[in-house]
């Protein structure tokens, strides 16, 4: 990154010729700031966006459509390709300049939902240092899958091939192979679900950006973007269910089932509470 920003002035929201945005951090952070790119592009002649996770694949789904003055920088491309009079800003600093653009949805769905289908993601990136508290245990994932199925939902795995082994250990079911950072395929899978239940992964961001009814299972205190309440300020259709940081998932799952129970009579099935603990 230093090759791009050494000696370059930081952008403060003004009209400019060339603006360079570095989409840093994880995939979820990149999806989170997609909503601001159109507004940023409206203030500059050319907006250059550096992203090594191919989030540009989602750009064609943005609502409203992104303008044509956005250029995506591929890995290995040098700063000389960008041009002169360059300013730069980190992607996660864009909300400070565009507070009026926080609304969601801002990604289009690509297929109608199948009624009664829940997309389930119990595991995140195992290389993340927070994975032990962010992902469900295989035992908790198996119980949650069994509970949702018992209630009457059709459960669809949203796990990529990198978590196929954990999902199989939890459910005895296989996961389609080959999807890792294939964002358009993931959008298609989420679109076909009536509802999403997920831990804190990029799936929670994409589903929220699409306006999909989503239940997030996370720990408390959680990542900064999930704040402290039940509703996300970033994604109005996301409901948040929390567990103690070093505790088990029973509290969060009980909160989830209670929330489902208020909107779906299938959750009143006898014996469902016994599957939570």
Place of tokens 């909160």: 255
In CATH terms, 2-101 corresponds, of 1.10.3470, 3.50.50, 3.30.70, 3.30.450, to: 3.50.50
Q: Is 248 exposed, middle or buried (0-12, 13-18, 19+ CB in 10 A)?
A: middle
| Superfamily name and number for 114-275 | Glycogen Phosphorylase B; (3.40.50.2000)
Give the model confidence (pLDDT) of 140-197 as tens digits: 999 999 999 999 999 999 998 889 999 999 999 887 655 555 888 999 999 999 999 9
Give the model confidence (pLDDT) of 91-139 as tens digits: 999 999 997 767 789 999 999 999 999 999 999 999 989 899 999 999 9
Give the model confidence (pLDDT) of 194-220 as tens digits: 999 999 999 999 999 999 999 999 998
Give the model confidence (pLDDT) of 108-117 as tens digits: 999 999 999 9
Which pLDDT score is estimated for 22? Answer: 85
Say if CB 196 and CB 213 are below 8 A apart.
yes
CA distance 216 to 194: 15
Q: Could you give the C-alpha distances from 78 to 13, 75, 115, 132, 175, in angstroms and in order?
A: 24, 9, 48, 37, 38
Output phi, psi for 223, to 5 deg: -55, 145
Q: What is the mean pLDDT of residues 39-43?
A: 95
Pairing of strands 114-121, 86-90: unpaired
CA distance 89 to 8: 10
- Domain boundary assignment for the chain: 2-101, 114-275
Nearest to 222 by CA among 193, 205, 199: 199
CA distance 230 to 22: 31
Pairing of strands 193-199, 214-220: parallel
The encoded tokens of residue 108 equal 């289009």
User: Angle of helix 138-151 relative to helix 250-263, nearest 10 degrees?
Assistant: 20
């Amino acid at each position: 990154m230093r090759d791009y920003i050494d000696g370059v002035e930081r952008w403060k929201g003004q009209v400019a010729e060339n603006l360079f945005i570095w989409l840093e951090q994880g995939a979820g952070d990149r999806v989170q700031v997609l909503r601001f790119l159109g507004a940023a592009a409206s203030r500059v002649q050319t907006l250059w966006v550096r992203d090594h996770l191919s989030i540009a694949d989602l750009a064609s789904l943005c609502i409203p459509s992104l303008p044509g003055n956005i250029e995506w920088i591929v890995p290995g491309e040098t700063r000389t390709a960008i041009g002169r009079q360059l300013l730069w800003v980190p992607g996660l600093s864009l909300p400070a300049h565009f507070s009026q653009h926080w609304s969601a949805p801002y990604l289009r769905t690509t297929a109608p939902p199948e009624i009664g289908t829940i997309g389930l993601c119990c595991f995140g990136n195992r290389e993340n240092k927070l994975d032990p508290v962010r992902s469900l245990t295989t035992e908790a994932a198996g119980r949650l899958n069994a509970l949702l199925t018992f209630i009457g939902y059709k459960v669809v795995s949203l796990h990529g091939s990198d978590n196929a082994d954990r999902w199989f250990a939890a459910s005895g079911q296989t996961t389609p192979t080959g999807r890792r950072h294939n964002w358009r395929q993931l959008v298609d899978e989420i679109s076909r679900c009536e509802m999403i239940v997920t831990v804190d992964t990029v799936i929670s961001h994409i589903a929220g950006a699409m306006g999909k009814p989503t239940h997030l299972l996370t720990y408390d205190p959680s990542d900064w973007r999930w704040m402290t309440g039940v509703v996300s300020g970033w994604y109005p259709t996301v409901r948040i269910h929390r567990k103690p940081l070093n505790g088990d998932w029973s509290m969060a799952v009980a909160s989830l089932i209670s929330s489902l129970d208020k909107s779906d009579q299938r959750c009143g099935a006898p014996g469902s509470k016994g599957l939570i603990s």
